[in-house]
């Protein structure tokens, strides 16, 4: 039974009961001698005895319809609010209810909605923290594994390559008086060069596996430390010019990673004899330039197929900078990164 039907039945019954009680009280106070008068007397051409119950029923129907419509709207409002809660939507009704009980229900629904919203936010925050924590743990495991591999390669393969290089150098030194056309001497020289190239490849691989972090050092300190260490391990001539100026940590980290990637590529592919690194600041621009005199490469082909080149471009873009690479076959390569430095009114980096 619907709300309107229930209200109609209830109001008809109430009207009839009221009519019976009022009529009984009236006849007790004002008794009549002839009951047939109730039939004979008419109101609006309707016998009085029929008019009273008919009027009561009609009144009950009208009151029932109006009250049923009113309560149906109230229940629909509650249903709508509950449906919004079910859908996870915000309840934004500031309408005051005329009935205190309905106002209390509306306030309770609003409180439940706010609690559910807070619980949803908490769940989302916990889920995000869980994912971030998992990613951090995975990254830590990867970093530990990379360091382990780097240590093992350095302690085994790298040392063996170094020993082989020393032995081949000693052998070639003792054979300096041999005929230059000696086939065996040429082969030994080729083996020495291959070992030397393998050493460069290994150092580049170690730089990839275990990149040096800036930690609490500035970019300038990190660059100098990296290049000094590298110059002690390779025969390549390394020069650098690094100016001192403050930078945001994010920019420092990205520029340092670009330098590491570029140096690693130089060691592995360029066959260069010289490497020059420049870090300066001119007109609110930080300029990092790496130049070698190696074999060079096709820039467009390298961009399309090199993960390292793509990674350097992405790092430059992340700090609002640009990366430009110029390479000429047998002439060398120049990589230049320019990053704009935003300053406030006091000339300090934002």
- Confidence band of 238 (pLDDT split at 50, 70, 90): very high
Whether pLDDT at 34 is above 90: no
| In contact, 199 and 158? CB cutoff 8 Å | yes
8 Å CB contact between 349 and 247: yes
Instruction: Write down the pLDDT at residue 19.
Output: 82
DSSP bridge partners of 324 = 336
Inside any domain, residue 189: no
Q: Which helix (H) or strand (E) holds 2?
A: none
Q: Residue 38: give the domain boundaries.
A: 3-89
pLDDT of residue 280: 95
Residue 52 scores a pLDDT above 60: yes
pLDDT for 323 equals 94
116 belongs to a structural domain: no
Per-residue model confidence (pLDDT) at position 180: 54
Given 37, 56, 89, which residue is the final one in a domain?
89
Domain-located, residue 18: yes
Give me the number of domains the chain comprises. Answer: 2
State the pairing for strand pair 322-328/237-242: unpaired
Residue at which a domain ends, from 49, 69, 89? 89
Assign 276 a pLDDT band (cuts: 50, 70, 90).
very high
Contact 60, 15 (CB under 8 A): yes
Q: How many Å separate Cα 204 from the centre of its chain? A: 32
Neighbouring-strand partners of residue 349? 343
Q: What is the arithmetic mean of pLDDT over 82-96?
A: 67
Q: Across residues 29-42, what is the average pLDDT? A: 75
Q: What is the three-class DSSP state of 269? A: helix
Tell me which of 241 and 139 has the higher pLDDT: 241
333 compared with 12, residue with greater pLDDT: 333
Q: Answer whether residue 134 is part of any domain.
A: no
**Largest distance between two CA atoms of the chain:** 159
If DSSP codes are grouped into helix, strand and coil, which group holds residue 248?
coil
| pLDDT more than 70, % of the chain | 81
What are 128-164's pLDDT values in tens digits?
Answer: 888 888 888 887 887 777 777 767 766 667 677 777 7
- What's the pTM value of the predicted model, to 2 decimals? 0.52
Final residue in a domain of this structure, among 71, 89, 107: 89
pLDDT: which is higher, 214 or 126: 126
Question: Rounded to 5 degrees, what angle do the CA atoms 117, 119, 122 make?
Answer: 110
Q: What is the rounded average pLDDT of the residues 257-279? A: 89
Residue 325 lies in a domain: yes
DSSP string, 3-69: HHHHHHHHHHHHHHHHHHHHHHHHHHHS--S-TTHHHHSEETTEEHHHHHHHHHHHHHHHHHHHHHH
Q: 60-64, 120-124, 343-347 — which is least confidently predicted?
A: 343-347
Q: Which of 89, 138, 130, 131 is nearest to 110 (CA)?
A: 89
pLDDT at 275 over 90: yes
pLDDT of res. 344: 54
Q: What is the CATH number of the domain that holds 245?
A: 3.30.565.10
pLDDT reported for residue 301:
65
pLDDT digit string, tens, across residues 277-331: 999 999 889 999 999 998 888 877 655 556 678 889 999 999 999 999 998 888 8
Which range, of 97-106, 107-116, 232-241, 270-279, averages the lowest pLDDT? Answer: 97-106
Per-chain mean pLDDT for the chain: 79
- Is 200 inside any structural domain? no
Contact 267, 207 (CB under 8 A): yes
Domain assignment of residue 170, yes or no: no
> Residue 277 corresponds to which tokens in the numbers above?
């690194």
pLDDT at 345: 47
Asked if residue 140 is part of any domain, the answer here is: no
Identify the pLDDT of residue 88: 65
Query: What would the two tokens of residue 77 be?
Result: 């409002």
């Amino acid at each position: 039974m619907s709300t309107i039907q229930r209200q109609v039945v209830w109001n008809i019954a109430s009207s009839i009961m009221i009519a019976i009680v009022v009529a009984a009280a009236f006849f007790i106070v004002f008794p009549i001698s002839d009951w047939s008068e109730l039939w004979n007397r008419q109101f609006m051409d309707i016998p009085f005895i029929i008019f009273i119950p008919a009027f009561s029923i009609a009144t009950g129907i009208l009151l029932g319809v109006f009250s049923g419509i009113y309560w149906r709207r109230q229940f629909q409002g509650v249903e709508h609010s509950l449906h919004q809660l079910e859908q996870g939507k915000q309840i934004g009704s500031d309408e005051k209810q005329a009935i205190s009980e309905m106002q209390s229900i509306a306030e309770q629904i609003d409180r439940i909605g706010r609690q559910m919203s807070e619980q949803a936010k908490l769940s989302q925050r916990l889920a995000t923290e869980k994912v971030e924590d998992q990613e951090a743990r995975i990254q830590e495991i990867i970093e530990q594994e990379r360091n382990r591999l780097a240590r093992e390669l350095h302690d085994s393969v790298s040392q063996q390559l170094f020993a082989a290089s020393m032995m081949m150098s000693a052998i070639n030194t003792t054979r300096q008086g041999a005929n230059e056309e000696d086939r065996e001497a040429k082969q030994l020289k080729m083996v020495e060069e291959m070992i030397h190239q393998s050493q460069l490849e290994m150092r580049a691989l170690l730089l990839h596996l275990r990149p040096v972090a800036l930690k609490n050092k500035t970019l300038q300190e990190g660059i100098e430390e990296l290049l000094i260490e590298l110059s002690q391990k390779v025969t390549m001539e390394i020069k650098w010019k690094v100016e001192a100026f403050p930078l945001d940590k994010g920019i420092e980290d990205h520029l340092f990673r670009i330098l590491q990637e570029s140096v690693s590529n130089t060691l592995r592919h360029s066959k260069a004899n010289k490497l020059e690194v420049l870090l300066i600041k001119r007109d609110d621009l930080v300029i990092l330039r790496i130049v070698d005199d190696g074999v060079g490469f096709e820039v467009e082909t390298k961009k399309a197929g090199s993960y390292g080149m793509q990674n350097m471009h992405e790092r430059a873009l992340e700090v609002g900078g640009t990366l430009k690479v110029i390479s000429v076959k047998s002439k060398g390569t120049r990589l230049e990164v320019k990053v704009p430095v935003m300053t406030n009114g006091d000339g300090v980096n934002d």
